[in-house]
Amino acid sequence: MSLLKSKYRKVTNKRNFKFGIFSLISISTLMMGVSIPIIILNNTNKRLDYYNVFSTYDNALDNLAALGYAPDYDTTSSGGRIKYSSYLDGYVNNDITQYVDIRIIDGESVDRRSIDKLKIDTAILNEWEKGDAYKFDGILNNIAYTSMGDSSTARYDTPMTTGGFTWNEQVSINAGLMILAKDLDKIYNLGNELENRTNKIIEADIKRTTYINNQNKNTISNLSFGVLNSTATDSSEINTKFNFFSPYEYPMLYSSDPNKGIGLNFPQPKNSSFINETHGYKETASQIKGDSSSQLLDQFGGKFDYLVFSGNDIAIMDNKITFQDVLNSDITMLLKEPSKASERILFSNKGQWYQSAWGMIGKRVILDETVKFLNIKDIEESKKWNACPSDKLVRLEYKI
Per-residue pLDDT band at 43 (split at 50, 70, 90): very low
Whether residue 388 is contained in a domain is answered as no
Flag whether pLDDT at 52 surpasses 50: yes
Is 174 found in the same domain as 238? Answer: no
151-163 per-position pLDDT tens digit: 788 888 788 999 9
Q: Give the structural domain span for 182.
A: 47-212
Stronger pLDDT, 273 or 37, i.e. the higher one: 273
CATH of the domain at 144: 3.40.50.1980
Strand order of the sheet with strand 142-146?
98-100, 73-75, 52-55, 120-126, 142-146
Whether residue 126 is contained in a domain is answered as yes
Mean pLDDT of the chain: 86
Flag whether pLDDT at 367 surpasses 50: yes
Is 68 found in the same domain as 142? Answer: yes
Quick one: pLDDT at residue 101? 87
For the residues of 194-231, what is the DSSP string, one character each? Answer: HHHHHHHHHHHHHHHHHHHHHHTHHHHTT-BEEEEEE-
Whether residue 399 is contained in a domain is answered as no
Is 92 found in the same domain as 12? Answer: no
Flag whether pLDDT at 29 surpasses 80: no
CA–CA gap between residue 374 and residue 302 (Å, rounded): 18
Per-residue pLDDT band at 50 (split at 50, 70, 90): confident
Whether residue 159 is contained in a domain is answered as yes
Is 231 found in the same domain as 220? Answer: yes
Flag whether pLDDT at 197 surpasses 70: yes
CB 302 within 8 A of CB 330: no
Rounded mean pLDDT of 72-86? 83
326-362 per-position pLDDT tens digit: 999 999 999 999 999 999 999 999 999 999 999 999 9
Strand order of the sheet with strand 306-311?
287-288, 242-245, 225-230, 306-311, 345-349
Predicted structure pTM score: 0.86
Flag whether pLDDT at 93 surpasses 50: yes
Flag whether pLDDT at 270 surpasses 90: yes
Task: Choose the final residue of a domain: 182, 212, 242.
Answer: 212
CA–CA gap between residue 105 and residue 131 (Å, rounded): 12
Is 192 found in the same domain as 142? Answer: yes
Whether residue 11 is contained in a domain is answered as yes
Stronger pLDDT, 295 or 170, i.e. the higher one: 295
* Range 87-98 burial, b when 16+ CB lie within 10 A, else e: bbeebbbeebbe
Is 117 found in the same domain as 42? Answer: no
Count of domains forming the chain: 3
Flag whether pLDDT at 251 surpasses 70: yes
Which residues, other chains included, contact 160 with Cβ-Cβ below 8 Å and sequence gap of 6+?
A: 166, 167, 170, 247, 251, 254, 255, 256, 257, 260, 261
Flag whether pLDDT at 25 surpasses 90: no
| 280 Rama sector, left if φ>0, alpha if ψ -120 to 50, beta otherwise | left
Quick one: pLDDT at residue 78? 60
Is 344 found in the same domain as 291? Answer: yes
For the residues of 275-305, what is the DSSP string, one character each? Answer: -SGGGT-STT--EE--SSHHHHHHHHTT-BS
Whether residue 390 is contained in a domain is answered as no
Per-residue pLDDT band at 239 (split at 50, 70, 90): very high
Quick one: pLDDT at residue 45? 61
